[in-house]
C-alpha cells in the first residue's frame, strides 16, 4: 500500500498517461474515456457516502427493463455515468442495465464523434444499499467497428473484443479495478485529495482457493453436477482444505472482488427460477471475465468460455462460474459428469 506522505505514490491519471505513452501511437481518446469513467465513479461515490442523509435511499417506484424494482441510486448512478460519458465526448453508444435500448450519444464536438461503446451496470448489488452493504459499478468498453453506425448491432460483440473492462466497489474503501488486456490494476480512492491511488498493482488471482459464493437457497433447482460439487466442497478432507467456506454477499461486484484477491469461485448457475442464469452477459459477466482472465483466473458458463458467447441482445443473461482457475475447471468437470 502506498504511503501518501512519501512523494512517489501514483495516481490513476498518471498511470493512464504512462500506459498511453507506452502504447505509442495512441491519440489520447482512450485515456480521456478512462478519465471520464473515473470522474463518474467519484460522483457516484460522493452520492453513496451521503445516501443515508439525503433522500436517495430506497426504491424509486419504477421497475427497470429486467422487471426488477429500481432503487433511486440505480437511476442516479445511471444518470451520472451517462452525463460524464456524454460530456467527455469519446463515447458514441451506451448500453445500461437501467435503460431498455442502447443510448446513442451525439458528440458535442462536431466532426469528433466518440469511437467507443460503453456497456454498464451503473449500480450492482443495489438491493443491498439500504442495509449498508458494499455495492459497485461494472463497465465494459468496445471500439465502434470501422464504418459501423452507433447502434445496438455494433455493440453486440463477443467479450473477446473488449478493449477495457473494470469495476468500482463502494465499500469500506472505494476501489477501482480495471484492465486493458495488459494485466489488472487496482486504485483506491484517497478521499482527502479526491484521487484514485495505485494500491493493487498487477493483481494476480490465486490458482485455487477455499471459498465458494453461490445462492444456496436455490439448491434444489441446480443441475445435478453442481449439486454434487457443492456436496463435495462441504465434505471433510484435510488434504484439500475441505470443507470450503461459503461467502455470499449478494452483491456480485463485492463477491467477485473478494474472491479475486483471496481466491475462490463465484457461481450464478441456471436454475428453475432463472433458466438462463441471472447475471447479464454484456455488462456483468463479460467485463468480470476479462478481468479474471487477465489476473490468471477463468470464467465459464459451465460449458465453455463466457467471453466467446456471441451476444444477440443487450440484456441477455448467462450462467456464470468465475474465479480461481483450478476451481472453475473442477466445477466444469463435475457438470460434465467427470467427478474430481
- The residue ranges that bind Mn ion (CB under 5 A) are 97, 121, 123-124
Instruction: Please tell me whether residue 125 binds ligand AHG under the rule CB under 6 A.
Output: yes
- Comparing CA positions, the residue from 206, 202, 197, 205 lying closest to residue 176 is 197
Examine residue 191 and tell whether it contacts ligand AHG (CB under 6 A).
Answer: no
Contacts with ligand AHG in 247-286 (CB under 6 A)?
250-252, 278
- Nearest Cα neighbor of 158 from 47, 53, 289 is 289
CB nearer ligand AHG, residue 80 or residue 90: 80
Q: Which is nearer to ligand AHG, 89 or 311 (CB)?
A: 311
**Nearest residue (CB) to ligand AHG, 99 versus 278:** 278
Total residues in contact with ligand AHG, by rule CB under 6 A: 12
Which of Mn ion, ligand AHG, none does residue 215 bind (CB under 5 to 8 Å by kind)?
A: ligand AHG
Q: Given candidates 36, 80, 124, 195, which one binds ligand AHG under the rule CB under 6 A?
A: 124
Per DSSP bridges, beta strands 265-268 and 320-323 are antiparallel
Dump the DSSP string for 201-215: TT----S--SEEE--
Cα–Cα distance, 111 to 54 (Å, whole number): 41
What lies within 8 Å, CB to CB, of 222 at 6+ separation is: 230, 269, 271
In the list ligand AHG, Mn ion, none, the entry touching 68 (Cβ below 5 to 8 angstroms by class) is ligand AHG
Choose which of 70, 126, 137, 330 interacts with ligand AHG (CB under 6 A). Answer: 126
Q: Residue 330 and residue 123: Cα distance in Å, rounded?
A: 31
Taking CB under 6 A as the rule, which mask of x and - marks residues 208-227 in contact with ligand AHG? -------x------------
| Site residues (CB under 6 A) for ligand AHG, limited to 5-64 | none
- Which helix (H) or strand (E) segment is 236 a member of? none
Task: For residue 268, count CB atoms less than 10 angstroms from its CB and return exposed for 0-12, middle for 13-18, buried for 19 or more.
Answer: buried
Distances in whole angstroms, Cα of residue 212 to Cα of each of 133, 156, 233, 264, 333: 19, 31, 9, 6, 16
Least Cβ distance, residue 193 to Mn ion (angstroms): 29
Considering beta carbons, is residue 90 or 124 the nearer one to ligand AHG? Answer: 124
Q: Which does 58 bind (CB under 5 to 8 A by kind): Mn ion, ligand AHG, none?
A: none
288 contacts 317 by C-beta, under 8 angstroms: no
Picked from ligand AHG, Mn ion, none, the partner binding residue 251 (CB below 5 to 8 A depending on kind) is: ligand AHG
Binding site for ligand AHG (CB under 6 A): 68, 97, 121, 124-127, 215, 250-252, 278
Amino acid at each position: 500500500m502506498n504511503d501518501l506522505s512519501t512523494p512517489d505514490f501514483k495516481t490513476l491519471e498518471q498511470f493512464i498517461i504512462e500506459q498511453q505513452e507506452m502504447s505509442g501511437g495512441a491519440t489520447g481518446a482512450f485515456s480521456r474515456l478512462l478519465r471520464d469513467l473515473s470522474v463518474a465513479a467519484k460522483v457516484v461515490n460522493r452520492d453513496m457516502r451521503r445516501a443515508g442523509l439525503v433522500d436517495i435511499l430506497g426504491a424509486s417506484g419504477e421497475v427497470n427493463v429486467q422487471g426488477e424494482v429500481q432503487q433511486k441510486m440505480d437511476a442516479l448512478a445511471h444518470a451520472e455515468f451517462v452525463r460524464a460519458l456524454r460530456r467527455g465526448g469519446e463515447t458514441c453508444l451506451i448500453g445500461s442495465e437501467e435503460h431498455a435500448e442502447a443510448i446513442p450519444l451525439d458528440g458535442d464536438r462536431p466532426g469528433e464523434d466518440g469511437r467507443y461503446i460503453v456497456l454498464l451496470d451503473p449500480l450492482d448489488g443495489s438491493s443491498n444499499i439500504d442495509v449498508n452493504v458494499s455495492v459497485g459499478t461494472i463497465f465494459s468498453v468496445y471500439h465502434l467497428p470501422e464504418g459501423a453506425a452507433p447502434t445496438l448491432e455494433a455493440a453486440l460483440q463477443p467479450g473477446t473484443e473488449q478493449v477495457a473492462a473494470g469495476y468500482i466497489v463502494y465499500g469500506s474503501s472505494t476501489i477501482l479495478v480495471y484492465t486493458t488486456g495488459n494485466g489488472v490494476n487496482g486504485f483506491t480512492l484517497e478521499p482527502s485529495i479526491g484521487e484514485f491511488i495505485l494500491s493493487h498493482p498487477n493483481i494476480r488471482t490465486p490458482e485455487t482457493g477455499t471459498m465458494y459464493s453461490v445462492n444456496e437457497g436455490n439448491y434444489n433447482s441446480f443441475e445435478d453436477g453442481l449439486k454434487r460439487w457443492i456436496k463435495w466442497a462441504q465434505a471433510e478432507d484435510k488434504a484439500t482444505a475441505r470443507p470450503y467456506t461459503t461467502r455470499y454477499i449478494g452483491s456480485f461486484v463485492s463477491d467477485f472482488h473478494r474472491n479475486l484477491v483471496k481466491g475462490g469461485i463465484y457461481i450464478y448457475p441456471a436454475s428453475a427460477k432463472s433458466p438462463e442464469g441471472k447475471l447479464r452477459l454484456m455488462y456483468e459477466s463479460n467485463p468480470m471475465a476479462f478481468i479474471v482472465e487477465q489476473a490468471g483466473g477463468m470464467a465459464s458458463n459451465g460449458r465453455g468460455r463466457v467471453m466467446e458467447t456471441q451476444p444477440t441482445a443487450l440484456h441477455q443473461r448467462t450462467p456464470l462460474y468465475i474465479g480461481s482457475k483450478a476451481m472453475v475447471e473442477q466445477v466444469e468437470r463435475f457438470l460434465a459428469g467427470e467427478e474430481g
